[in-house]
Structure 1
Amino acid sequence: MTVEKILEVKDLHVSFDTFGGEVKAIRGVSFDLKKGETLAIVGESGSGKSVTTKAVMRLLPKNNSNIKQGEILFDSKDLTKLTEREMQGIRGKDISMIFQDPMTSLNPTMTVGKQIMEGIIKHQKLSKSAAKEKAIDLLRLVGIPMPEERFKQYPHQFSGGMRQRVVIAISLACNPKVLIADEPTTALDVTIQAQILDLMKDLQQKIETSIIFITHDLGVVANVADRVAVMYGGQIIEMGTVDEIFYDPRHPYTWGLLSSMPDLELGDADELYAIPGTPPDLTDPPKGDAFAPRNEFAMQIDLEMEPPMFQISKTHFAKTWLLHEDAPEVEPPLAVQKRRRTMPQNFDKPVIVKEGV
């Protein structure tokens, strides 16, 4: 059975005009989002995660950003071609976004109830009394106690975790088909993070929305995602199911991310790996593999030619010359080898399909 694709991004290129020159922030990004799934986009700061999703929402700054080429297909429309007025009919209603810091997302001069009601009245054309009833139901849905009382309160009267629940309630107000969560737990402490992640998993089952979850924390991904896209230097360099990325990663950058993540179950918690070097300067992107200067396994071809996306299985792809049939076999870091030894019983290690060469 073919699962319906609800969103498709095809060969997206985004750049910014700055005093230092043109920053080529997104360079040929392609992915799709299926109905009811959670796709996590992972990478360190500056990799292009947030720019990609802000391009989907058409929330990039108008004065210096350019979508140079590519398509963003949603409901048979190319969002890159819509006017601002047409996008206003989609934002909040069909595609909604949760931002990092709940305090900057909320208006301090308005009660949280009014802020939830705004989108309901605008997009669903409900009366004020019906919108109020739905807003209270949403506060209850996201786990805020005494929702009738809390409805009348202001953001400063809520804790950080409760404010994030309010932001989630606002984003869900119009039953969006796609929910983009941009590092929604970064500003919260570890205990509250876990509660918000559990809430999002629970909500997805209840409202059947599709989620794009942006994070730099691979530990978060394991708990929420169905598929994972790893970004580096404005490109997706590996994509696969959450098990494929965690137990059989193929790109050296993914190896580095996993090795730098503490895992008490695997032991050696005090021997964390740090990826050497810094991300590339995207005012002058490298002509070869963007990760080559930081890659201990880099070959000469990595410095001269950009690798294609090799297909490893039906769902697993990686952009590295190490998957070429003529490449030498290399051993990944010890942490990755340990993960491979703990693969789930039902995980079939795939044979590389030589495509994209």
Structure 2
Amino acid sequence: MDDSILDVRNLHVTFDTYGGKVQAVRGVNFSLKKGETLAIVGESGSGKSVTTKALMGLVAKPAGKIPKGEILFEDKDLAKLTEKQMQKIRGKDLSMIFQDPMTSLNPTMKIGKQIMEGLILHQNLSKTNAKKRALELLELVGIPDPVKRIDQYPHQFSGGMRQRVVIAIALACNPKILIADEPTTALDVTIQAQILELMKDIQEKMDTSIIFITHDLGVVANVADRVAVMYAGKIVEIGTVDDVFYNPKHPYTWGLLGSMPTVDSEEEKLIAIPGTPPDLIHPPKGDAFAARNEYIMQIDLEEEPPMFKVSDTHYAATWLLHEDAPDVNPPQAVKKRISDARRNKSSVEEVRD
């Protein structure tokens, strides 16, 4: 793909633990286009955060290793770079927004200084110019009265405002790729919506490519162009937002949609996915989702499903897509969620227009 800014090919990440080798990421493939937002969705432990840490060169060594795979960015394989080489790229070309703004910010250092650090280091700006740029960034991320705020400390900001500061720091060097790891988890719903709106706005202004990590499919509908659903260290479904939301094919995606609260779901029961993800020290033979799949077939226990092509933009790894498989549709409750989501999306778009 010529317009890809990033290509991840057959990525494997393992961690040595006392219990054995955890196979956290097991052959992940995806690409990211310029100016695109790709959301990676899955439960805790599905491998989504480990995948992005691998992209940033932040897999904790010596326990963590990338035994196989390539991370291709601008003619470089990031998986092969040394820490020193990665330091030149990290923060400049690839930037990350972490989950909890309080742990990302230094409590003893003024906000302005924390934003200026990267500008002085990566952009060789003078202190005066770095301060000027820091004020512009605070304004860009919607912090009122930046001239006063630049000299304050993190504890003087609310949670939502701290997250805006973290975004300003991540944007300081105009990164080509911005990775947002559950950036709204610690925030209440109203602030969450503002931060998501802010990220969309920034992307339009700066044409940055974004990888958005979340366990909440509800968040994805309004921010992403494409969605990759991860389970047990693998991508099990990938497609455009409309593919994955309105025509989901993997039973795990159905489960995620079924467990997603909607505006209309107060009287409805949310569907929980039964069971727990498999132990990745001993990954199961066959389909890793088999033990939790109510549509399980014999082949699920024996062979791992390949990625079946649903359309040019949509792929899913489930034996239910095999031509010999029985015709199975999502449960009724999931179908209702899909139509609710459709309705909400069109009303959001009407409001925007």
What residue is the counterpart of 2:71 in the other structure?
72
Report the number of matched residues: 343
Deviations 1:143-174 (A, max 9, x none): 00010110000001100000000000000000
Structure 1 residues 144-293: aligned runs within 5 Å: 144-265=143-264, 269-293=267-291
* 1:300 maps onto 2:305 in alignment: no
Deviations 1:322-343 (A, max 9, x none): 0000001113111332356579
Q: CA–CA distance in 2 between the matches of 1:49 and 1:160? A: 24
Q: CA–CA distance in 2 between the matches of 1:73 and 1:191? A: 37
Q: Which amino acid aligns with 1:92?
A: G
Find the residue that maps to 2:89 and give its secondary structure. Answer: coil
Q: Which amino acid aligns with 2:185?
A: T
Find the residue that maps to 1:144 and give its secondary structure. Answer: coil
Could you tell me the TM-score, scaled by structure 1's length?
Answer: 0.94
Whether contact under 8 Å (2:262, 2:337) holds in the other structure is: no
Q: Offset at 1:3?
A: 6.4
Could you tell me the TM-score, scaled by structure 2's length?
Answer: 0.95
Deviations 1:302-329 (A, max 9, x none): 0010000000001100000000000011
Whether contact under 8 Å (2:23, 2:280) holds in the other structure is: yes
What residue is the counterpart of 1:40 in the other structure?
39
Q: Which amino acid aligns with 2:90?
A: R
Q: Offset at 1:205?
A: 0.4
Find the residue that maps to 1:246 and give its secondary structure. Answer: helix
Q: CA–CA distance in 1 between the matches of 2:224 and 2:235? A: 16
Whether contact under 8 Å (1:42, 1:229) holds in the other structure is: yes
Q: CA–CA distance in 2 between the matches of 1:139 and 1:152? A: 12
Whether contact under 8 Å (1:16, 1:66) holds in the other structure is: yes
What residue is the counterpart of 1:5 in the other structure?
4
What residue is the counterpart of 1:333 in the other structure?
331
Identity of aligned residues (%): 73
Deviates more, 1:131-140 or 1:330-339: 330-339
Whether contact under 8 Å (1:97, 1:180) holds in the other structure is: yes
Unpaired segments ≥5 residues, structure 2: 344-353
Q: Which amino acid aligns with 1:48?
A: G
Whether contact under 8 Å (2:99, 2:181) holds in the other structure is: yes
Whether contact under 8 Å (2:260, 2:270) holds in the other structure is: yes
Whether contact under 8 Å (1:51, 1:60) holds in the other structure is: yes
* 1:89 maps onto 2:115 in alignment: no
Find the residue that maps to 1:135 and give its secondary structure. Answer: helix
Structure 1 residues 121-160: aligned runs within 5 Å: 121-160=120-159
Q: Offset at 1:269?
A: 4.3
Unpaired segments ≥5 residues, structure 1: 346-357
Q: Offset at 1:287?
A: 1.1
Q: CA–CA distance in 2 between the matches of 1:275 and 1:222? A: 21
Q: Offset at 1:85?
A: 1.0
What residue is the counterpart of 2:61 in the other structure?
62
Q: Which amino acid aligns with 1:153?
A: Q
Structure 1 residues 93-104: aligned runs within 5 Å: 93-104=92-103
Q: CA–CA distance in 2 between the matches of 1:124 and 1:203? A: 20
Deviations 1:261-302 (A, max 9, x none): 12235x574221010000000000011000000000010000
Q: Offset at 1:222?
A: 0.4
Q: CA–CA distance in 2 between the matches of 1:343 and 1:258? A: 10
Q: CA–CA distance in 1 between the matches of 2:238 and 2:298? A: 24
Whether contact under 8 Å (1:9, 1:29) holds in the other structure is: yes
Q: CA–CA distance in 2 between the matches of 1:331 and 1:174? A: 47
Find the residue that maps to 1:312 and give its secondary structure. Answer: strand
What residue is the counterpart of 2:104 in the other structure?
105
Q: Which amino acid aligns with 1:41?
A: I
Q: Which amino acid aligns with 2:225?
A: D
Whether contact under 8 Å (1:258, 1:335) holds in the other structure is: no
Q: Offset at 1:82?
A: 1.0
Once superposed, what is the RMSD of the aligned Cα atoms?
Answer: 1.4
Whether contact under 8 Å (2:10, 2:28) holds in the other structure is: yes
Q: Offset at 1:200?
A: 0.4
Deviations 1:11-40 (A, max 9, x none): 000100000000000000000000000000
Q: CA–CA distance in 1 between the matches of 2:339 and 2:106? A: 50
Q: CA–CA distance in 1 between the matches of 2:178 and 2:84? A: 20
